[in-house]
Amino acid sequence: MTLVVVGSAGMDTVETPFGRVEDAVGGSAVYFSLAASLFTKVQIAANIGQDYPRRVWDFLQHERGADLAGVRTFADQPSFRWSGRYEGDMNSAQTLLTELNVLAEPPTPPASYRGAPFVFLANMGPDVQLRMLEDLDGGTVFADTMNLWIEIQGSALLELMKRIDGLILNDGEARALTGETNLIRAGEDLLEMGPRLAVVKKGEHGAFLFTRDFHFALPAYPVREVVDPTGAGDSFAGGFVGHLAACGSLEPDALRKAMAYGTVAASCTVERFSTEGLELANRAQLDARLAELRSFISL
């Protein structure tokens, strides 16, 4: 089934113990789409400037069959830029610079995206996410968020949570949003706040899935060299929602397998800088990693 993603496309300058890339392709919608397009047809809505490399869009369109009707190029503004540094265990980035540029305007999904059976609203202000939700009128809707919105747009976020099917966020965000330190209780609290699914990502420690019927945990796929964690969370979301859209199901088996595909998609991303890992990835590689992951946790 078709999957619409609304999010950012940015140019990232990233420094890790393994090196540095400047103005590299990035952004939530790009990482998400590169992962999700390995599973299903993806329709992308994101704002860019004329400086954004054309190459990745050509790749998404021609190699991965993505629909770019919602990618809007601004003539008068540069692309969103983010710069950050990872150190030590690389579980979180130190942000050095953020330039919103074209992100000051909300994305504008075209009419042809309306009614998509699956939607992913990447990290944006919950006010914008609510508007996208209305405009798109999609079927099953997942959303991401971040600490900033929990702090400054808490009530819009709570409103959004009542109207989406699943929230995908990291452990720090889950704790901040629920005020609960214990992650199991935090996950259960998230469900109380509206969505029937909550995915809590824990970086190198894996991820939890919470539903009203069951909980599920996965460790991260064992990556020996984490080169650049940028985009891991959006890649996870892409593998997760991508698989669900491909099977058109939220049944327990589909959800568990979606968690595993999210996990292995993220593992491809972190092994290389920028989007290179996901561009090189294919379904056979993801399936092989899923089999390895299954054996890694086989009890």
Q: Does 179 bind its own copies (CB under 8 A)?
A: no
Backbone angles phi, psi at 261, to 5 degrees: -65, -35
Stretch that binds its own copies, among 112-120, 205-213, 241-249, 273-281 (CB under 8 A): 205-213
Query: In this structure, which amino acid lies at residue 239?
Result: G
The two most distant CA atoms of the chain are separated, in Å, by 57
Site string for its own copies, 69-88 (x = CB under 8 A): -------------------x
Handedness of CA 220, 221, 224, 229 (dihedral sign): negative
Q: Least CB distance from residue 296 to its own copies, whole Å?
A: 5
Task: Specify the residue, 39 or 57, whose C-beta has the smaller distance to its own copies.
Answer: 39
> How many CB atoms within 10 Å of residue 39?
23
**HSE-CB of 110 using CA atoms within 13 angstroms:** 9
Site string for its own copies, 257-296 (x = CB under 8 A): x-xx--------------------------------xxxx
Site for its own copies in 85-104 (CB under 8 A): 88-90
Q: Least CB distance from residue 253 to its own copies, whole Å?
A: 9
* Residues 6 or more apart whose Cβ sits within 8 Å of residue 269: 31, 35, 228, 229, 230, 231, 232, 235, 275, 277, 278
Q: Which of 81, 202, 243, 289 binds its own copies (CB under 8 A)?
A: 202
Query: In this structure, which amino acid lies at residue 123?
Result: N
**Total number of residues that touch its own copies (CB under 8 A):** 36
Task: Specify the residue, 59 or 216, whose C-beta has the smaller distance to its own copies.
Answer: 216
The pair of three-digit structure tokens given for residue 21, joined into one six-digit string: 């890339």
Which residues of the chain form contacts with its own copies (CB under 8 A)?
Answer: 88-90, 181-185, 188, 202, 204-206, 208, 214-219, 222-226, 256-257, 259-260, 293-299
